[in-house]
Amino acid sequence: MAEAIFNALARDRGLPLRAESAGVAALQRERMAPNAVAVLEELGISPGPHRARQVREEMIEASDLVLAMSPKHVTELRRLSDHADKIYTLPEYATGAADKEGIPDPYGSPIIAYRASVRQLFEYVERTVDRHDPGQGMRDD
């Protein structure tokens, strides 16, 4: 969901930025959960033909920035790569504050959990895009 939100916001602002998601425990090649698709569509965002994939060291190395959903994911990603300086939780990067909890994964939950998750994601992703939007100025708040 974060990938779809980020790409929609960047595209709407005409920014040359692109997000690509991968999971530390992804069910490879699985489609996005129907509830995830539904809540994105409620926001007017099309997730496109997304398929889950497992994160690999090469993906981290090729990325300018790696944002994870939880501190546990950050630990795993840093274990895979020597590029700890570009790996953060999404809330930590978006707000500049320490993040002890992250964003809960709603997978397998009722749609209300997906709606709560997408609200958090939208807030943090929008702040992240703002940091990289010249029209907004590079913000560190």
The pLDDT tens digits of the residues spanning 71-85 come to 999 999 999 999 999
Residue 50 CA from chain centroid, whole number = 14
pTM of the model: 0.91
Tokens of 7: 């790409």
For residue 141, name the pLDDT band (cuts at 50, 70, 90). Answer: very low
Confirm if 57 and 5 have CB atoms less than 8 A apart.
no
Could you give the angle at the alpha carbon of 116 between the alpha carbons of 137 and 111, nearest 5°? 135
Which pLDDT tens digit goes with each residue over 20-62?
Answer: 999 987 667 788 999 999 999 999 999 888 888 999 999 999 9
Determine the CATH number of domain 2-130: 3.40.50.2300
> Phi and psi at residue 6, in whole multiples of 5°?
-60, -50
Domain boundary assignment for the chain: 2-130
- Report which DSSP code applies to 28: T
Q: Note the pLDDT of residue 139.
A: 46
